[in-house]
Amino acid sequence: MTDPTENRYPLLAGIERPADLRGLEEAELVQLAQEIRDFLIESVSKTGGHLAAGLGAVELTIALHYAFDTPEDRLVWDVGHQTYPHKILTGRRDRMHTLRQKGGLAGFPRREESEYDTFGVGHASTSVSAALGMAVAAARTGSERKVVAVIGDGALSGGQAFEALNNAGSLDADLLVILNDNDMSISPNVGAMSNYLARILSGKVYTSMREGSKTVLSTIPPIWELAKRAEEHMKGMVMPSTLFEELGFHYYGPIDGHDLHTLTKTLRNLRKLKGPRFLHVVTRKGKGYEPAEGDPCVYHGVTPFDPATGKMEKKPSGKTYTQVFGEWLCDMAEHDPRLIGITPAMREGSGMVAFSQRFPERYFDVGIAEQHALTFAAGLACEDMKPVVAIYSTFLQRGYDQLIHDVCLQNLPVLLAIDRGGLVGADGPTHHGSFDLSYLRALPNLTVMAPADENECRQMLTTGFRLNGPAAVRYPRGAGAGVALEPELRTLPIGKAQIRREGKRIALLAFGSMLAPALEVAEALDATVVNMRFVKPLDAELVLELARTHELLVTVEENAVAGGAGSAVNECLAAAGAAQRTINLGLPDRFVEHGEPTALLKECGLDAAGIRRSILQHIQAEHPALLAEIA
């Protein structure tokens, strides 16, 4: 897209780094906010990405870089959805047209991308922990730099955030935590009086008086106790909670997060203070763009759209695996009243909207709390409920200990509906589901399934739900092959694979999404193709039979090769003493970058051409006689 010009974005055009921003008069910041908002809408309308959160954080971003000496002062963002304005102000404006595209800017902060990105993020609730580490490091080295963590109200629902807040308060760390609260309506406390109070409470005069009075009054215990109670009582009248004070923080706010004068004044005051400080800022998601303000959930993550109308490009036709799960969940809930649906703050992304509306009393959104989600499900299962936890592969990693100890060790009937297995595309390495088959198949009692199409996904969900033990169904993002769904709730035989094509000499053992390219390769090589279906328990009988009748076994999975499904096949052969030639194809031993999924699969050699090439190269190097026979 065209870079900003002086005519279209006169202030923004002159800002290449935050130092330029700090050269502006405060009165110019309101115009700058509008220019950034306009530029952000124009940019994201072409690339797609996260929109509503960034629109709501424009003024806060400006005020932070205006009041603090970044990058010397450390600014740590949580999750990163709201950081597009930060990218625009920190030297990346002219690359925003490459956002989330292969080789372009990442959709989240990344240390490799900019010195202003002090901590790489993608999963929620990490900012306070990271910022606390930086604050402690600054103290250890005698640095005067300031450290700020910006966390949203959603991310604050994660337990790690409270662990860090508790630790920071007990350490008396020199740390400012900003709560960007964009979910609550602006309460009566947020207005002229509240903004005035926040400026006063963060000012030098009040702070010195407060600390001085503590010193004096503490020598007279009864009066000191009375004064403490009076202070808390007064705060209770103008502030929403004393929770953060109890954790050891000095609490300020709530203030209007779109009032630049109040923000800059308050942040400048807070920069001069030391110790744990907590600033509560209330913003509006989608601020300044009517479609996003009207439906911030829809405009949280967008495809390219028309800026004038907000109308988005149509997504590819075909039923997605997420939709298949959502429909199955409602169908199964009709049949079994014990079904309980659980999500860690991913209702829309996991396809649970219809279920939450039809069965509200059986729907639980536990917030960004994956550990709790798993143990909560385990508790339900102990009492004869049948919990279904809908969770992204990348987020299940955060509840691994609970999956091991609270679900699998107790052999409880919890079904994991694992979305976004494999490469997810533009969200990149923080969101790819690259490791689940590896970390799941190591767990005793757990049945692990990977569907090759939509109907098989439905059958596997039914199979896992009806097992008297833990089960996981791992499916990819996006649409399947277009296979029609059977209305019946049918199960599959446990641990049984399916031969999809009879061939000679070479057998391709495909797991989940890799069946389609494996079939294409098999036509060229006259190979046998097996839809393995189960990663655990593996169909050992069929694997050993294929080893006896074929000269080469090739496993293909959209998962890390290390410890993955292919490793399960190797272990099966080794345990039986079968000296069989195998090739294990899957994701490489590195973090795969962001980009369009088909391009990433090609890069990893997991498209049909790449699979065929790998097989032929291996045969040429190790078994040239076989190459002559299949050519």
Q: Start-end ranges of CATH 3.40.50.970 in the chain?
A: 10-214+242-294, 321-474
For 555, other C-beta atoms within 10 Å of its C-beta total 27
Contacts of 351 (CB under 8 A, 6+ apart): 320, 322, 323, 325, 326, 329, 390, 419
The pLDDT of residue 185 is above 50: no
Q: What is the mean pLDDT of residues 279-299?
A: 91
Q: Is the bond into 487 cis (omega within 30 degrees of 0)?
A: no
Alpha-carbon distance 600 to 101, whole Å?
11
Where are the alpha helices (H) located in 444-579, listed in sequence order? 454-466, 515-525, 540-549, 565-575
CB of 329 closer than 8 Å to CB of 341: yes
Give the pLDDT of residue 238: 43
Lookup: tokens for 336: 């079994």
CATH 3.40.50.970 assigned to domain 10-214+242-294? The reply is: yes
Q: What is the mean pLDDT of residues 371-376?
A: 96
CB of 452 closer than 8 Å to CB of 513: yes
Q: What angle (nearest 5°) sits at the alpha carbon of residue 428, between those of residues 587 and 287?
A: 165
Give the pLDDT of residue 275: 95
Q: Is the bond into 588 cis (omega within 30 degrees of 0)?
A: no
Tell whether 574 is in a known binding site: no
Give the pLDDT of residue 114: 96
Tell whether 122 is in a known binding site: yes
Alpha-carbon distance 556 to 508, whole Å?
7
Alpha-carbon distance 21 to 91, whole Å?
11
Q: What single letter denotes the amino acid at residue 58?
A: V
Confidence of residue 212 (pLDDT cuts 50, 70, 90): very low
pLDDT in tens, 472-496: 999 999 998 899 999 999 999 999 9
The pLDDT of residue 220 is above 70: no
DSSP 96: G
Residue in 201, 181, 174, 199 with CA at minimum distance from that of residue 263: 199
CB of 74 closer than 8 Å to CB of 81: no
DSSP 593: -
Tell whether 289 is in a known binding site: yes
Name the 3-class secondary structure at 341.
strand
Distances (CA, A) of 125 to 112, 166, 402, 404: 21, 14, 18, 22
Confidence of residue 216 (pLDDT cuts 50, 70, 90): very low
Let me know how long the chain is. 631
Tell whether 363 is in a known binding site: no
Q: What single letter denotes the amino acid at residue 19?
A: A
Is 111 among the residues known to form the active site? no
The domain defined by 498-628 folds into Rossmann fold (3.40.50)
Is 551 among the residues known to form the active site? no
Residue in 204, 337, 320 with CA at minimum distance from that of residue 271: 204
Is 271 among the residues known to form the active site? no
The pLDDT of residue 234 is above 80: no
Tell whether 73 is in a known binding site: no
Confidence of residue 230 (pLDDT cuts 50, 70, 90): low
Q: Start-end ranges of CATH 3.40.50.920 in the chain?
A: 498-628
Element (H, E) at 506: strand 506-510
Q: 0.75 exceeded by the pTM?
A: yes
Give the pLDDT of residue 225: 56
Give the pLDDT of residue 209: 43
Name the 3-class secondary structure at 596.
coil
CB of 601 closer than 8 Å to CB of 559: no
Alpha-carbon distance 476 to 421, whole Å?
5
Lookup: tokens for 49: 């990405």
Lookup: tokens for 574: 């080794």
Task: Given the residues 74, 110, 285, 420, select the one marked as catalytic.
Answer: 285
Tell whether 123 is in a known binding site: yes
CB of 542 closer than 8 Å to CB of 447: no
Task: Given the residues 93, 398, 458, 533, select the one marked as catalytic.
Answer: 398
Confidence of residue 182 (pLDDT cuts 50, 70, 90): confident
Tell whether 503 is in a known binding site: no
Alpha-carbon distance 250 to 270, whole Å?
10
pLDDT in tens, 30-54: 999 999 999 999 999 999 999 999 9
DSSP 347: T
pLDDT in tens, 503-513: 999 999 999 99
Q: What is the mean pLDDT of residues 247-274?
A: 94
| CATH ID of 321-474, from 3.40.50.620, 3.40.50.970, 3.40.1190.20, 3.90.180.10 | 3.40.50.970
Tell whether 153 is in a known binding site: yes
Name the residue with higher pLDDT: 54 or 313. 54
Confidence of residue 217 (pLDDT cuts 50, 70, 90): very low
